[in-house]
Amino acid sequence: MRVAIDAMGGDLAPQATVEGALLYDKETVGKHKLVLFGDNDVIEQEIENHHFSKPNNISIYHTTQLVEMSDQPTVALKQKKDSSLMKGLQMHHEGEVDAFVSAGSTGAQMVGSLFILGRIEGVHRPALASFLPTEGGVVLLIDVGANVDCKPVHLLQFGIMGGIFINYIYGIKNPRIGLLSIGEEKSKGNEVVLAAYNIMAAKIPNFVGNVEGRDILHGRADVIVMDGFVGNSILKFAESVMGVFGTTFKRNLGKNLFSLLGAFMVRHAFKEMKSSFDYQEYGGVPLLGVNGISIISHGRSTAKAIKNAIRVAVNMSEKQVNQHILEELKHRGSE
Amino acid sequence: MRVAIDAMGGDLAPQATVEGALLYDKETVGKHKLVLFGDNDVIEQEIENHHFSKPNNISIYHTTQLVEMSDQPTVALKQKKDSSLMKGLQMHHEGEVDAFVSAGSTGAQMVGSLFILGRIEGVHRPALASFLPTEGGVVLLIDVGANVDCKPVHLLQFGIMGGIFINYIYGIKNPRIGLLSIGEEKSKGNEVVLAAYNIMAAKIPNFVGNVEGRDILHGRADVIVMDGFVGNSILKFAESVMGVFGTTFKRNLGKNLFSLLGAFMVRHAFKEMKSSFDYQEYGGVPLLGVNGISIISHGRSTAKAIKNAIRVAVNMSEKQVNQHILEELKHRGSE
């Protein structure tokens, strides 16, 4: 298959994006065609920097524009048609490539994916998912920012799509689907959640009911469904916690040599803990529900993250996730 | 003044509640009248256990019922009128005491406060606030669970009430009021937040605009306003994080003697960090907007937490917080 990579997108681009593609190519021994979208000269230079001669299965698609983080997504969609981001999506839509990966502006990628690729038949609203580590593994939160003001049927569909994704891509069979609420009882929640509970209980076989904020990290569900406003707030909060903890911990250590030595001795356990909160392992998550494969990677994606994002893209295609979404939503995707 | 304490409410009651009252009394040298609501024999026994002879300014108000955590709040309101919780609120309403403190069922206390005490004139919806530690101090989140499906004017009032509370009770002058959203720009948010932004910008002098989830712990605002569904989810998530981190950290340490020794050496910094996430320092927060003083303490409140909660109750009365709410809402509390 052919995967398009937005070589210009992300804080560490084009270095990390090009290197990530090269790493993936090396691991898979040139099995897939990779197309790097972006400035031809810049990309060629990057490839040279990595002392690679460009393998035959890697090509460059020259684009002249760049979507900046400050660009309004809808404006970028209209005015930056020749950006690596929008052109990559366009070529995917036209069937020139089979998937698209970017670590660029999440907002622009969401808007671009939605308008250029369109939606899978039956999907009301494509959704963005993200992993958080739990005590025993990971949990997928969906939606984490693509949709606010969701209706109950949207939450139902998020649950179905999230379940399909981690089943086929991460091998979690019969994933347990939960609904974020402010109490475990089905009588707890806001209007939308109360209604969503009943629909999800009727339509999702492995629905485990409400999950409270305190249980997100305890692994009581494999997928937790929520409105994108709530999901975005919780995800960003979670991402900031490690940093704040590090700062507070260091301050508390003070200048005491004894405790500084202790900190040195536990640095490994700390690093492990931090890496469990590391998005790089997951690489990226697809905008689920769009009629194509658009993998959204973290803005700070390293080469390793990009490599893993390409793997997700390939798996999405090989495991026919979108086909499963289409079929499942036909059966269970409406009220 | 006279403070009612629900001696039977909370995981550690009646031990912690009675001891907390005694500690407060000792610190303030019997300055205020404290009334312990609950079973007379049980409370007298507790006082004896602490080797105190009951000071004259501490009295017991005998009640025969108990609100259990499993009780539906509205049912408790109707059927447990002689519980320490409902009777304490009733006596406060009748002017027999000037404030009420409980670590019992938060739901029952909210419902009881709302229906027995009523609302301050002009308040649409009383709100529950809670503190989180930040890199440089604390931040007050409001609402954390009293209200779901909020309207923009509710969020405006939460901001005003939260600002008055931390100004008068915690001495934070001109507190910065923020609005939780999914982006800093005023164009980011859901329908309610977009509308609330404009009202808050017009009515709150120290409105600092939108605050994202990632900035909650960075101290960009002193008060952050949110719908109770979101606030409850974030607060519970935050409360669970320290526990999950501890577990993960310990697991990562493994059986390695070197790292176990290191952990021993940094235990103090860890403890400090954990205590900064400790609700006990704050003791409790009032249900802001009810026509009275109803301090809601954490279910796991220790004697120290109860002591601090009584202090908040006394300060609420002495600083005339409800009077300020009444006046401020008259000026700025509507659209």
- The DSSP result for A45-84, as a single string, is HHHHHTTPPPPTTEEEEE--B---TTS-HHHHHHH-TTBH
pLDDT one-digit tens code per residue, B112-125? 999 999 999 999 99
pLDDT one-digit tens code per residue, B152-187? 999 999 999 999 999 999 999 999 999 999 999 999
> CA B141 to CA B282: how far, in whole Å?
13
Average predicted confidence (pLDDT) for chain A? 92
Phi, psi of B84 (to 5 degrees): -60, -35
What is the per-residue pLDDT for A273? 67
**A332 band by pLDDT with thresholds 50, 70 and 90:** very high
**A292 band by pLDDT with thresholds 50, 70 and 90:** very high
pLDDT at residue B254 tops 90: no
pLDDT at residue B247 tops 80: no
Mean pLDDT of B145-152: 96
Q: Tell me if A228 sits within 8 A of A236, measured CB to CB.
A: no
Q: What's at A135, amino acid-wise?
A: E
**B203 band by pLDDT with thresholds 50, 70 and 90:** very high
Name which residue leads in pLDDT, B285 or B244.
B285
Residues of chain B in contact with residue A224, where contact means CB-CB under 8 angstroms, are none
Q: What's at A116, amino acid-wise?
A: I
Cα–Cα nearest to B29, from B6, B48, B69, B56: B56
Q: What percent of chain A has pLDDT over 70?
A: 96
Under an 8 A CB cutoff, do A235 and B245 touch? no
User: How far out from the chain centre does Cα A246 lie?
Assistant: 25
Q: Of A180-184, A191-195, A199-203, B239-243, which gets the smallest average pLDDT?
A: B239-243
Residues of chain B in contact with residue A252, where contact means CB-CB under 8 angstroms, are 268-270, 272-273
**Residue A27 parent element (H or E):** helix A15-27
Chain B residue at shortest CA distance from A247:
B135
What is the per-residue pLDDT for B50? 80
Instruction: Give rounded-to-5 percent helix, strand, coil for chain B.
Output: 50, 15, 35
Name which residue leads in pLDDT, A320 or B278.
A320
Chain B residue at shortest CA distance from A70:
B185
What is the per-residue pLDDT for A136? 77
Contacts of residue B296, defined as CB under 8 A and 6 or more positions apart, other chains included, come to B102, B106, B109, B110, B128, B284, B285, B286, B287
pLDDT at residue B245 tops 80: no
What is the per-residue pLDDT for A109? 97
Phi, psi of B2 (to 5 degrees): -120, 120
CB atoms within 10 A of CB A68: 12
**Residue A2 parent element (H or E):** strand A2-6
Under an 8 A CB cutoff, do B240 and A265 touch? no
Nearest to B190 among A229, A240, A248 (CB): A229
CB atoms within 10 A of CB B247: 15
pLDDT at residue A137 tops 90: no
pLDDT one-digit tens code per residue, A269-279? 767 766 666 65
Under an 8 A CB cutoff, do B182 and A230 touch? no
Cα–Cα nearest to A149, from A190, A121, A186, A188: A190
Under an 8 A CB cutoff, do A266 and B262 touch? yes
Nearest to B240 among A214, A228, A239 (CB): A214
Phi, psi of B32 (to 5 degrees): -115, 155
Residue A185 CB-half CA count within 13 A? 5
Residue A178 CB-half CA count within 13 A? 23
Residue A308 is encoded by which pair of tokens? 């893993």
What is the per-residue pLDDT for A119? 98
> CA A227 to CA A123: how far, in whole Å?
16
The residue behind tokens 């501890």 is: B246
Mean pLDDT of A256-264: 74
Chain B residue at shortest CA distance from A137:
B248
pLDDT at residue B220 tops 90: yes
Under an 8 A CB cutoff, do B252 and A240 touch? no
pLDDT at residue B244 tops 80: no
Residues of chain B in contact with residue A234, where contact means CB-CB under 8 angstroms, are 213, 233-234, 237
What is the per-residue pLDDT for A286? 94
- Residue-wise DSSP of B62-75: E--B---TTS-HHH
Q: Tell me if A315 sits within 8 A of A169, measured CB to CB.
A: yes
Chain A residue at shortest CA distance from B179:
A233
What is the per-residue pLDDT for A312? 95
The residue behind tokens 């704050």 is: B282
Under an 8 A CB cutoff, do A273 and B237 touch? no
pLDDT at residue A191 tops 90: yes
Residues of chain A in contact with residue B193, where contact means CB-CB under 8 angstroms, are 229
How close B284 gets to chain A, by Cα (Å)?
Answer: 19
pLDDT at residue A283 tops 90: no
C-alpha distances (whole Å) from A178 to each of A196, A215, B244 are 11, 11, 19
What is the per-residue pLDDT for A279? 59
Mean pLDDT of A65-69: 95
Under an 8 A CB cutoff, do B263 and A262 touch? yes
What is the per-residue pLDDT for B43? 96
CB atoms within 10 A of CB A173: 8
Cα–Cα nearest to B323, from B95, B113, B121: B121
How close A243 gets to chain B, by Cα (Å)?
Answer: 10
Under an 8 A CB cutoff, do B213 and A235 touch? yes
**B201 band by pLDDT with thresholds 50, 70 and 90:** very high
Under an 8 A CB cutoff, do B266 and A253 touch? yes
Q: Kindly provide the residue ranges of all beta strands, DSSP E only, lying in B104-188, ordered along the sequence.
A: 127-133, 138-142, 177-180
Q: What percent of chain B has pLDDT over 90?
A: 79
Give the neighbor-by-neighbor strand order of the sheet with B99-102: B58-62, B33-38, B2-6, B99-102, B294-297, B284-288, B127-133, B138-142, B223-225, B177-180, B207-211
What is the per-residue pLDDT for A199? 98
pLDDT at residue A304 tops 70: yes
Axis-axis angle for helices A15-27, A303-318 (nearest 10):
50
CB atoms within 10 A of CB A298: 22
Cα–Cα nearest to A223, from A148, A160, A265, A169: A160
b/e sequence A35-66, b meaning 16+ C-beta within 10 Å: bbbbbeebbeebbeeeeeeeeeebebbebebb
Nearest to A237 among B133, B237, B245 (CB): B237
Q: Tell me if A15 sits within 8 A of A110, measured CB to CB.
A: no
Under an 8 A CB cutoff, do A218 and B229 touch? no
pLDDT one-digit tens code per residue, B61-110? 999 999 999 999 999 999 999 999 999 999 999 999 999 999 999 999 99
Q: Kindly provide the residue ranges of all beta strands, DSSP E only, lying in chain B, ordered along the sequence.
A: 2-6, 33-38, 58-62, 99-102, 127-133, 138-142, 177-180, 207-211, 223-225, 284-288, 294-297
Beta strand B99-102 with B294-297 is: parallel
What is the per-residue pLDDT for B240? 85
- For an interface test with B, which of A215, A218, A244, A266 has the most B Cβ atoms less than 10 Å from its Cβ? A266
- For an interface test with B, which of A138, A225, A273, A277 has the most B Cβ atoms less than 10 Å from its Cβ? A273
Phi, psi of B55 (to 5 degrees): -65, 155
Q: What's at B137, amino acid-wise?
A: G
What is the per-residue pLDDT for B278? 60
Residue A67 CB-half CA count within 13 A? 35
Contacts of residue B7, defined as CB under 8 A and 6 or more positions apart, other chains included, come to B13, B14, B17, B18, B21, B36, B37, B38, B39, B42, B43, B46, B60, B84
**B261 band by pLDDT with thresholds 50, 70 and 90:** confident
What is the per-residue pLDDT for B280? 64
pLDDT at residue A146 tops 80: yes
What is the per-residue pLDDT for B279? 59
How close B164 gets to chain A, by Cα (Å)?
Answer: 25
Would the pTM count as exceeding 0.80? yes
Burial class, A170, CB count within 10 angstroms (exposed 0-12 / middle 13-18 / buried 19+):
middle
Query: If DSSP codes are grouped into helix, strand and coil, which group holds residue B300?
Result: coil
What is the per-residue pLDDT for A225? 98
Query: If DSSP codes are grouped into helix, strand and coil, which group holds residue B263?
Result: helix
Q: Tell me if B126 sits within 8 A of B118, measured CB to CB.
A: no
Residues of chain A in contact with residue B241, where contact means CB-CB under 8 angstroms, are 217, 238, 241
Under an 8 A CB cutoff, do A266 and B253 touch? yes
pLDDT one-digit tens code per residue, A121-136? 999 999 999 998 887 7
Rounding to the nearest 10 degrees, give the CA dihedral for residues B193, B199, B205, B208: 20
> CA A152 to CA A194: how far, in whole Å?
8
Query: If DSSP codes are grouped into helix, strand and coil, which group holds residue A276?
Result: helix
What is the per-residue pLDDT for A313? 97
Under an 8 A CB cutoff, do B266 and A269 touch? no
Under an 8 A CB cutoff, do B213 and A193 touch? no
Name which residue leads in pLDDT, A241 or B139.
B139
CB pairs under 8 A between A and B: 171
pLDDT at residue A162 tops 90: yes
Under an 8 A CB cutoff, do B229 and A233 touch? no
